[in-house]
Amino acid sequence: MTLTMPAPIFEIEDLRAHYLTRFGQKIQAVDGVSFSLKEGEILGIAGESGCGKTTLVSACMGLYIPPLHQSSGDVRVDGKSIIGMDVEQNRKDVLGRLVSMIPQGALNSLNPTRKVKDLAADMILSHDEKADKQEIQGRLRERFERIGLDAELVLNSYPIQLPAGMKQRVVIGISTLLNPRVVIADEPTSALDVTTQKSVIRLLFDLMDQQIIGSMLFITHELPLLRHVSSRIAVMYAGEFVELGSTEQVIFDSRMPYTKALMGSMLSAEPGQKSKKPVAIEGAPPNLAHRIKGCRFAERCPEARPDCKENEQLIRIVANREVRCQYAE
């Protein structure tokens, strides 16, 4: 029976988004991405800079601010589509409540001229203008205590008075204030040192365990980090998912040449592995302003064959995971 299967809370169906430049160029930054998230699940998305990760974030929130436009596809939260709203309505009904984001430059995303309590109160007021001020402060105190912050001190501080790690916790606290169904974390730890990184990820896990967050998309360029964070990984290249499978499959037993090359460019901190050099992938990703006929990675692929550039690559199921390569086995 299908009843025993938990229904997905976040569904992305063949999503495409493009930028229109002022020179009339159309850049297809996200090109046919599909996936779904179940309650309590974390999906990791990995890829190089410029592969479309951050555009995918906006597209998944249904937030299309020109020059970004939606081409086609659908995004559903608990079965309800969030596509096709105008920006104002999206901000009121979707952002923060259904889908919330932890931004990339989280350390610079707090307004330096206002106290943390006012910034946090904005999150509630923007969805409920008539909320009671006293009640809001009570709610903030309760939530900040719950995520392990000294609420009295933090709420009455200006952002610059807080160290980097605590600022990141404040940003996460504000983003998850309204118990969003889906949280999209866009490189939440890339500006932090390893110790702070660990504490931030522990906080995200706690929020999931306490069911404050329903499910999470974790976006990063550090593929090895996802080994500890997500249960499934999608590898993104030039606007497409090129491999989607379980964490074990993608990291230890990858079938897509691009994923293998990406793992090869990571350095291993294992003792005695000093001789194992990280290898950079030569060349650059293709220009998405032009229509690409064959495999997008063919130019840089060490295993490319002559017809790779000719044939359009469709998703195939190889060894129980999705791969976009006709020769993967």
Partner 1 sequence: MLSESVKFEARGLSRAYGHGRKLKLAVSDVSFKIRDKEIVSIVGQSGCGKTVLAKLLLRLEAPTSGALLYNGKPIDTARDPREHWRQVQAVFQDPFSAFNQFFTIRAQLKSSFNLFEQKPTEQEMNERVDQALLAVNIKPREIDGKYPFELSGGQMQRMLLARIFILKPQVLVADEPTSMVDACSRASILEYLMKLKQELDMTIVFITHDIGLAYYVSDSIFIMHEGKIVEQGAPDDVTQRPQSPATKQLLDDIPDVHREWIARSPAA
* 103 interacts with partner 1 by CB under 8 A: no
- The window from 7-15, 88-96, 111-119, 189-197 that contacts partner 1 (CB under 8 A) reads 189-197
* 274 interacts with partner 1 by CB under 8 A: yes
# chain residues binding partner 1, by CB under 8 A: 46
Handedness of CA 186, 192, 193, 196 (dihedral sign): negative
Distance in Å, CB of 270 to partner 1, minimum: 6
Sole binder of partner 1 in the list 1, 5, 160, 280 (CB under 8 A): 280
* 322 interacts with partner 1 by CB under 8 A: no
> Which residue do the tokens 């309650």 mark?
39
Nearest to 74 by CA among 15, 140, 118, 127: 15
| C-alpha count within 13 angstroms, C-beta hemisphere, residue 269 | 2
Measured distance CA(179)–CA(288) in Å, rounded: 36
Q: Is 19 helix (H, G, I), strand (E, B) or coil?
A: strand
According to DSSP, the β-strands at 232-237 and 42-46 are: parallel
What is the footprint of partner 1 within residues 244-263 (CB under 8 A)?
Answer: 251-252, 262
Distance in Å, CB of 252 to partner 1, minimum: 8
According to DSSP, the β-strands at 240-246 and 321-323 are: antiparallel
Measured distance CA(168)–CA(147) in Å, rounded: 12
Other C-beta atoms closer than 10 Å to the C-beta of 287 total 10
What is the footprint of partner 1 within residues 220-239 (CB under 8 A)?
Answer: 221-225, 227-228, 231
- Whichever of 90 and 254 has its CB closer to partner 1, that residue is 254
Distance in Å, CB of 306 to partner 1, minimum: 26
Binding site for partner 1 (CB under 8 A): 40-42, 48-50, 163-165, 190-198, 201-202, 205, 208-209, 221-225, 227-228, 231, 251-252, 262, 265-271, 274, 278-281
